[in-house]
Amino acid sequence: MCGRFVVAHSGTELVGVLRVDLVGDDLPGPSFNVAPTDSAAIVLDSAKTEPPTRRLETARWGLVPAWAKNPGVGAKAFNARAEEVESKPMFRRALIKRRAVIPATGYYEWKSEGGAKTPYFIHPADDAPMFFAGLYEWWKDPAKDADDPARWLLSFTILTRDSIGALGSVHDRMPLFIDGDYADVWLDPTTENVGDLLDAAVDAAPALVDSLSMREVDRAVGNVRNNGPELIDPVA
């Protein structure tokens, strides 16, 4: 699973990497402890234009489908198993047309040993940005006026798959990593055969795992109120 991640740079610094056309207002600043229901910057391709417009937008972590009665359901939908998204109503429609890329500096995972859980920070060895495959949805709040911009909530989930290599020694699940080149294919809302698209992303992930590094960090990261660069420092 992926329950916390790090975005050490502002979202606008990723515009060139993912060839973003439009940058949204009020993007969140750097965070060293992004948790479910927090806001984060995501990249999506809007199908409302031809060709699609690539946008960098602020979204809430935890997918809220359009049919949800309230946004609370998103608190439990911050991850989605890649092997299940085609069959689960919560994620199926988003997989077809609303795929996202979530940029990050790295993420945290906890290793269970003898009843204790030890946090690790996992990140690219060269400190380049990493990208998670995700899905997004728009949810309309029926309690707000039609002309209220806050009526629409953009939310997302991060896809996961079985862990491999050294990551398997920490946790049995890991985010579904994609590289910057595959992001173009993943984001394209006109792409058909989404099952093949998903399978290709899953199959390519192992090559990216070899470029990752991990280190033990302080247990302070377990408290969502803690948020600072010291959280990713290695334990002495």
Does 230 have pLDDT greater than 90?
yes
For residue 147, what pLDDT is reported? Answer: 76
141-173 confidence digits (pLDDT tens): 887 777 777 789 999 999 999 999 989 999 999
36-71 confidence digits (pLDDT tens): 999 999 999 988 888 889 999 999 999 999 999 999
- Prediction pTM value: 0.95
For residue 217, what pLDDT is reported? Answer: 97
- Structural domain span for residue 122: 4-232
Does 30 have pLDDT greater than 80?
yes
For residue 29, what pLDDT is reported? Answer: 92
Q: pLDDT: is 234 or 142 the higher one?
A: 234
For residue 49, what pLDDT is reported? Answer: 81
Q: How many folded domains does the chain comprise?
A: 1
Instruction: Give me the CATH number covering residue 213.
Output: 3.90.1680.10
For residue 175, what pLDDT is reported? Answer: 97
Does 138 have pLDDT greater than 80?
yes
State the angle between helix axes of 89-97 and 194-209 in degrees (0 to 180), rounded to the nearest 10. 90
